[in-house]
């Protein structure tokens, strides 16, 4: 039969082992919202980011989520329907999405108006 100090030691070791296993299961460096063991579905509502558009007389290309795409290509369950100078139209069976490269800013230059007085 185990004496009291040994029981406390085994109990303490068991508790430390169980808590360390749970700590290892939760990675503190993982990105927010990331879940392991979950496969991405084809029509997953992922964050599609348009970074660059190249339009010339003979080709149209768009950089979406670090992938160069042309009309007819697919990404995340969407087909590239059209590429404009600052936007891309994506179409799926259920919806149409428009990704814009940037939102134009309306900036008034007050200094130049003050010089005309």
Note down pLDDT in tens along the chain; length 117 residues: 555 666 777 777 877 776 665 555 666 676 666 665 544 444 445 689 999 999 999 999 999 999 999 999 999 999 999 999 899 999 999 899 999 987 666 677 666 555 554
37 belongs to a structural domain = no
Q: Is 4 within the bounds of a domain?
A: no
Question: Are 48 and 89 contacting, i.e. CB atoms less than 8 angstroms apart?
Answer: no
Dig out the tokens for 109 from the structure.
């230059």
Residue 72: give the domain boundaries. 50-100
Q: What angle do CA 101, 106, 107 make, to 5 degrees?
A: 120
In a domain, 17, yes or no: no
- Structural domain contains residue 106: no
80 within domain boundaries: yes
Give the count of domains, the chain: 1
- Tokens for 47? 């964050």
- The verdict on residue 92 lying in a domain is yes
pTM of the predicted protein model: 0.50
């Amino acid at each position: 039969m185990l004496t009291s100090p040994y029981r406390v030691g085994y109990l303490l070791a068991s508790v430390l082992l169980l808590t360390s296993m749970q700590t290892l299961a939760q990675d503190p460096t993982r990105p927010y919202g990331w879940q392991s063991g979950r496969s991405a579905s084809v029509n997953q509502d992922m964050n599609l980011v348009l970074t660059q558009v190249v339009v010339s007389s003979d080709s149209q290309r768009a950089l979406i989520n670090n992938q160069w795409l042309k009309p007819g290509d697919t990404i995340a369950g969407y087909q590239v329907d059209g590429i404009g100078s600052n936007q891309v139209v994506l179409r799926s069976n259920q919806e149409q999405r428009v990704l814009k490269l940037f939102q134009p800013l309306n900036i008034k230059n007050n200094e130049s108006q003050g010089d005309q007085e």
